Structure 1
Amino acid sequence: MHEVAAAGGTAVLVRRAADGDQLAWRELVDRNESVVWGVSRAFTANSADAEDVCQATWLLLAENLDRLREPESLTSWLVTTARRESIRLTKARRRETPAGLGSPLLDRPGHGDDPERKVLRSMANSRLWQAFSRLSQSCQQLLRVLSVAPEASYAQVSQALGMPRGSIGPKRGRCLAELRKQLLATEVPEEAAG
């Protein structure tokens, strides 16, 4: 974090950023980027869409900095905005994307291993995504948020997903147990099911 953090809380940073202070803006982004990314990724089908949602969320904040009614609740505003933008984009994508092309299977990074390892990893990843896709939508969203923003607090995750904070840990455990069950049902090798 930058030296501006010592200058005050979120409301002070919002006011300073609205006045054009680039360090205050950078601090606001640094404090909240993982939450915005986590919400965006949880509610979109792939990384490219999540990046679009993040960009739209930050743009909306920049356009509305001086109009925030409760600047100390900036994180809540960002979570709500990212969720709404994700839903808006998802609805737009449904109208334009042929069925099956929005699959997370198309959103995997490449690996620079030898060919045998690449094939084995590809098979394991494919089975993992198949098992993941059989989870309920709420489990998929929760696991995505927790995996892309592991430093997010349960309060932030609760707000992002609209679920009670006390249910996040138990639901996470149930979702991971179901994912493991799905993986074992698809006969993933032991090291991949881990």
Structure 2
Amino acid sequence: MSLSDIDRILLQRCIDGAPRAWQDFVERFLGLVIHVANHTAESRGIALDESTRDDLVAEVFMVLLASDRGVLRRFRRDSSLATYLTVIARRVIARRLHRDGTRSRLSVTAAEPATHQTADRIENREEVERLMARLSPEESDIVRMYHLEGMSYQQISQAVGMAENSIGPLLSRARQKMREGA
């Protein structure tokens, strides 16, 4: 999906610092960022309280404003603005969750009966582990770092000692192996 005229105008107004542009931007994309925060945390087995979620959402918007709206200025306009913001928000939130260790993991205890969602999560985790078993240890580590821990190619490169431009192709091959095992 390409950039809509409405979003193109709103984006330009924000970059130009037009009156009320930022408020309009936040009103338009607040729900999206909240959804990304909830989904990113849930996919990592983290229960967010309202205060933590609000902090994560605020951090995403602060990143968008930082360096004279540098993230918005770097948007290439070859996709929808919502898609671009989803990627940015997911990365910011995943890094923050990883960095802060904000990990009140969802768990099943004897006092807490398993819910349908918890049972699905356990089944999904087992499926992911089964699929990742098809990968080499190096591939598995990189898939985990990128998809489950939200690390950037640069962070992964530093962690494993591999050239940054080799991370993407390795991830593509690993995903293909996982698809073939599904």
Give the TM-score range, shorter chain: 0.3 to 0.5
Q: TM-score scaled by structure 2? A: 0.45
Q: TM-score scaled by structure 1? A: 0.44
